[in-house]
Amino acid sequence: MTPQSPPVETVEMHPQRWGDPDAASDLPASALGLVELAFGRHETPAVLGAAPPPVALADDLLDGLRAVMGAEHVLTDDATRALRTRGKSTPDLLRARAGDLTDAPDAVVRPGGHDDVVALLAWASEHRVAVVPFGGGTCVTGGLAARRDGFAGLVNLDLVRMKRLLALDEVSMTATLEPGLRGPEVEALLGAHGLTLGHFPQSYEHASVGGFAATRSSGQSSAGYGRFDAMVVGLTAATPTGTLELGSAPASAAGPDLRQLLLGSEGAFGVLTSVTVRVRRAPEETTYEGWRWPSFAAGSDAMRALAQEGLLPTVLRLSDEDETALNLADPSSIGASDDPGCLMVVGHEGTPAQVAARRAAVSERLTALGGTPLGPEPGQRWVEGRFHAPYLRDALLDHGVLVETMETATFWSQRERLHAEVRAALRATLGDGALVLCHVSHVYETGCSLYFTVAAPQGEDPLARWAAAKAAASDAILAAGATITHHHAVGTDHLPWFAREVGDVGVRVLRAVKAELDPAGILNPGVLVP
């Protein structure tokens, strides 16, 4: 096939906020009232008009870079550099809001394809220029804030021009995608063929295929469509010392699965220049509904039963008591219920026959396990708002609230302990007034992920305050034997805990692979590899 490009251009995100600048909105008055009640009234507006530091890359290097990439694909203006500075974690936003753009790249380069990436990496290795691969810029773990010390400069490798559907095999149901494609662009390209990828993380509207692969992203429909890494059957990676092309079959016993070494490699081993993914027929019918559980434990046990009995729906999520209470609260009903229970969202997608059969089986089982159906309204509300939470974070940051999320995963037998100990660690550092909400966002036969949302007053030094809370929670995660991240990757923020999680031998393996593929160490220095 002729490579196909997506129909529309993606909107650039605001340099100090999440998402489409036109979609920003303040908190509704009722929510603002709640915030004031809980944390007091503090206006903390962002500093406007800050500029990144001057370009530090020497003129002769810039000239060389333009010769390699084409002058029109090397951008050094302040606005472009500001837009490619760090990601979108709360610490990233706090720094950007304070006018701190010190991590800005010296230049943003935009390769047009695999060969351009190869040429750039060769040039950067020769001249010892650090390179940060950049897809959607939605990273929340410091993965876009590479070290520049010891390097002649720092270049942002923006994949925005690499947005093609390169191949489609409707017999095998696979699609080969370039890494710069954002979530909605993938769905538009596949949708034209009646297909879907089915990958809908909260960052969906802005995150890219390359980022999904490089960070082992997981979407809100993972119960039905699987994690992104489970969708990948092949990939091409440009490294400073050569190209890797992997994936000659859906599964193989030809040695270790080297695809799994590039998935989750966060741009530190190479740049993914194409990813071949399994695709599915676009669902003809979708239905999302709410179920009420008397407790988080009862709802979790029901999720476990579905997973272990092979009865998973397409979407399956469960909020704990506190998250349910907050989400269900509309101001007029606060205090009306002492016992909101726990809300589960259950979604089914497929042909009408598939949806009917699976919904009947799942509903029967959930009822037997003690769940109460709440009908489609809570499910519909979830679907409509599911990409909106990061906008709400910006509004809360405007009003003096420190708000951030973190996530982990564990085996079922450790879920309760993990939930309790992370909550305790966050409250111990942020104060008993801190709001700590949690939901189970992804389920497996053997375990699940826990996704925490935290809100507290920003205080004098919100960066230090969050760093302390995050460290305490991360220690609690490792003490419980869980993973430091289920779907947000390592970046720079998780490095110390990641090193403990994989141990000394694991760290040495990563360093050996890094040294072999990137001997000059130019790729995302300081990210992933401890």
The catalytic site residues sit at: 451
Q: Which of 85, 215, 319, 429 binds a second copy (CB under 8 A)?
A: 215
Output 33 or 481, the one with its CB closest to a second copy: 481
Output 34 or 361, the one with its CB closest to a second copy: 361
Phi-psi category of residue 50: left, alpha or beta, with phi > 0 → left and psi -120 to 50 → alpha = beta
* Residues from 304 through 323 that contact a second copy (CB under 8 A): 304, 308-310
Binding mask 170-209 for a second copy (x = CB under 8 A): -xxxx-----------------------------------
Q: Which of 88, 292, 439, 488 binds a second copy (CB under 8 A)?
A: 488
Q: Which of 374, 482, 520, 522 binds a second copy (CB under 8 A)?
A: 482
CB of 29 to a second copy, least distance (A): 38
Contact 304, 326 (CB under 8 A): no
Sign of the Cα torsion 326, 331, 332, 336 reads: positive
Q: Is 451 in the site for a second copy (CB under 8 A)?
A: no
Q: Is 1 in the site for a second copy (CB under 8 A)?
A: no
- Widest pairwise Cα distance in the chain: 72
Phi, psi of 498 (to 5 degrees): -60, -45
Q: Is 516 in the site for a second copy (CB under 8 A)?
A: yes
Q: How far apart, in whole angstroms, are the C-alpha atoms of residue 75 and residue 108?
A: 5
Q: Is 266 in the site for a second copy (CB under 8 A)?
A: yes
Using the structure block, give the residue that is written with the tokens 């969202």: 345
Q: Is 254 in the site for a second copy (CB under 8 A)?
A: yes
Contact 343, 318 (CB under 8 A): yes
Q: Is 250 in the site for a second copy (CB under 8 A)?
A: yes
Q: What is the DSSP string of 457-502?
A: E--S-HHHHHHHHHHHHHHHHHHTT-BS-SSS--TTTTHHHHHHHH
Tell me, by CB under 8 A, how many residues bind a second copy: 91
* Residues from 24 through 53 that contact a second copy (CB under 8 A): none
Q: Is 245 in the site for a second copy (CB under 8 A)?
A: yes
Output 395 or 482, the one with its CB closest to a second copy: 482
Helix (H) or strand (E) holding 456: strand 447-457
CB of 460 to a second copy, least distance (A): 32
* Residues from 76 through 115 that contact a second copy (CB under 8 A): none
Q: Is 64 in the site for a second copy (CB under 8 A)?
A: no
Can you read off the two tokens belonging to residue 42?
Answer: 């503090």
Q: Is 255 in the site for a second copy (CB under 8 A)?
A: yes
Output 377 or 516, the one with its CB closest to a second copy: 516
Q: How far is CA 514 from CA 78, 239, 265, 333, 529, in A?
A: 32, 10, 10, 56, 8
Q: Is 272 in the site for a second copy (CB under 8 A)?
A: no
Among 204, 191, 201, 194, residue whose Cα is nearest residue 221: 201
If one counts every other C-beta atom within 10 angstroms of the C-beta of residue 518, the result is 23
* Residues from 404 through 443 that contact a second copy (CB under 8 A): 408-414, 442
